[in-house]
Each structure stands twice: as structure tokens, then as C-alpha cells.
Amino acid sequence: MADEIKKSLYRIVVPLPNSPLKDLNSYVIKGEDRNLIIDTGFNRSVCFEAMQKGLAELDIDLNKTDFMLTHMHSDHTGLVPRLASETSKVYFSRIDAKVFDKDVSWQPLIDFAEVNGFPAGELQKALASHPGLKYSPEEIPVFTLLDDGDVIECGPYRLQCVATPGHTQGHICLYEEDKKILFSGDHILFDITPHIESWAYDTNSLADYMASLDKVYHLPVNLVLPGHRNFLGDLKSRIDELKIHHHERADEVLDVLGRETLNAYEIAARMTWDIDCETWEDFPIAQKWFATGEAIAHLRYLEGEGRIARNTDKKIITFRAK
């Protein structure tokens, strides 16, 4: 089903079964000559059918439609090859596009998870259940690469790309200055907190995310259109909430560490999570993976602030409070 948000601007809610995210907001701009679809859903039949139904309601001709992907995650990119026509442009971050290079493998992530304490015997199972692998695009389209400040025009909308690294390194929001609209992707969500994870110590994802929140804080915005759930919220107050949340999570990591020396997997197991499981052992394997990645992001952030030390002299990396 397609909802009208403003003139020429619509939302299709795409279900994401078995995902804590519940659904994806795919935004459609109808232009006189070309249309634009922002984000698409998983490469799954249930997502494809929802998109087809919504696009049919809006009488969208896919031969006259381009696509913009806010970031690399499969709930945003998965369906593009099945929807795009030969004439479609697929706009995508130059940084996130590197993930789809043919020679990029998941092995460095597996190795990194293992040195951070993720049980070696569960790594392949974690990978097999990862939605990023299961529901990714079946083929990689030719991308029209985007950088910070680039502009996409469609119908009455002039969308400026705002690079907002954090949720992914190449995440891009779209800002419509005249209409004061921010398409925020997964940078700013209202009902849930964007997932920030790190899978390499040369990336301080949470520090990047905090800086990206500051970058959009003072934009004149009357309407924020996020990648998931509802969009009834104020930009500045939500950014304030998100920053407080991550400071509290960082403090929780310090509390978990106490005077012990622990690895990231052990720390994740002791943190509080908004998930319907009584114990860490009950967590689905994919959720253990995401939790560990989020713990690492907060550990890397604390390390960058000089509040904890990372020990790399043994096979498994550990941390201790300073």
C-alpha cells in the first residue's frame, strides 16, 4: 500500500519478516519524465510483492524510474536488480559501493569476530543467518556514484546528498532545502535506535556517528523521513536523545568491565538488550553477532576517548578500564 506524504511524494511500507526492524519505508517521488525510488527492501518475494503492489497503485513505470540507495544494507539495496530497468540510474555512495566489489569477502569480518571472542564454532552459523548475506542483491547493478554535496533532481524535488558516516561508512541522507525535508535513511530513526557496529579497529563508527548527528543538527528541517517505522518527530530533540543513549551505553560498557579484563563477546553477553530473550544463550545467533558488533563500536569509542585500554598481546583481544 502506498501513502501520500506530500505532493508527488509517497511511502510504500515494505514488510521485513523475522527482522526486529519489522518493515522498511521505501519513498517514491513521481516526476513528469522520471521517477525516483529511495531504498527497496530485502531480496525476498514478500518484499518484491509489496513493492510491486505499491508501485502499481502509484502507476509507476519502472522504465522511467531511477533509484537512490541510502546505504549498503540489504534491507535497503536487496531488490534493486529486480526492480531496475535497463534505463534506470542507481545512485549509491562511492564508499558503500566498495562493499559490492567482486573481490570483497566476508572473511575479514569472520576473523575479526573470532579475535573479539565470538565462538569459532558458531561463526559460520552466524554468517549463514546474517540477513546481509541471505537477502542481498542477486546481481550488482551499475551504480551512479555519489559524494557529499551531490544533487539528485526529480520532479519538484532537489535532493542534496549529505554524507553521514556511522551506521555505515558511506551512509547518505538526502536534504530538500526548499521543502525542509530530510530523508534520513538509518541515520536518524524515531521508534528505534539506529544500529552502530564496528568490525575493524581502524574505524571508530560511533565517533563518526556522533559527528554525523552534529552535521545535520542545525539543518532547517520540518519533516524527517526515516528508513524504518514512524516519522512523527523533531530532528533536534531526537538527535539529543540519540546522543544521550550512546553516552549511556558507553557508561554501561564501563560498568560491565568494572575491574575485569574482558573480550567484546563477553561484554556484549553482559549488556542489556531490548530483545525478548531471558538469557544470552537464548539470543538468535544473528542477534549475538549484531550485539557483539555494537559492543565493539562502544569499546572503540571509549578507547578513542582514552577511557579504556585494548590488549592485543594474546590471540583474543581484551579490554580493561583505565
What does the pLDDT look like over 112-141, one tens digit per residue?
Answer: 999 999 998 888 888 777 777 778 888 888
pLDDT by residue (tens digit) across 250-270?
Answer: 999 999 999 999 999 999 999
As a whole number of angstroms, the distance between CA 37 and CA 40 comes to 7
Q: What is the pLDDT of residue 125?
A: 83
124 to each of 106, 121, 157, 285, 291, how far by Cα in Å? 11, 7, 44, 10, 17
Q: Please report the pLDDT score of residue 159 as a whole number.
A: 98
Express each pLDDT in 168-193 by its tens digit: 999 999 999 999 999 999 999 999 99
Q: Cβ(249)–Cβ(197) under 8 Å? A: no
Tell me what pLDDT residue 130 has. 77
Q: Which of 169, 163, 146 is nearest to 93 (CA)?
A: 146
Q: What is the pTM of this model?
A: 0.95
Spatial CA neighbour of 77 closest among 182, 157, 171, 159 = 171
Q: Where are the domains of the chain?
A: 2-321
Q: What is the pLDDT of residue 104?
A: 65
The set of residues, in sequence order, having a beta carbon less than 8 Å from that of 55 and lying 6+ positions away, is 2, 12, 28, 37, 62, 83
Segment holding 254, helix H or strand E: helix 235-257
CA nearest neighbour of 283 among 84, 113, 126, 115: 126
Q: Using 70 as the pLDDT threshold, list the residues of the chain that sit under it.
A: 103-104
- Run of H or E residues at 111: helix 107-115
Task: Estimate the crossing angle of helix 235-257 against helix 285-304, to 10 degrees.
Answer: 90
> CB–CB of 75/16 below 8 Å?
yes
Predicted confidence at residue 88, as pLDDT, reads 97
Tell me the C-alpha distance between 51 and 2, whole Å.
Answer: 9
- State the architecture of 2-321 in CATH terms: 4-Layer Sandwich (3.60)
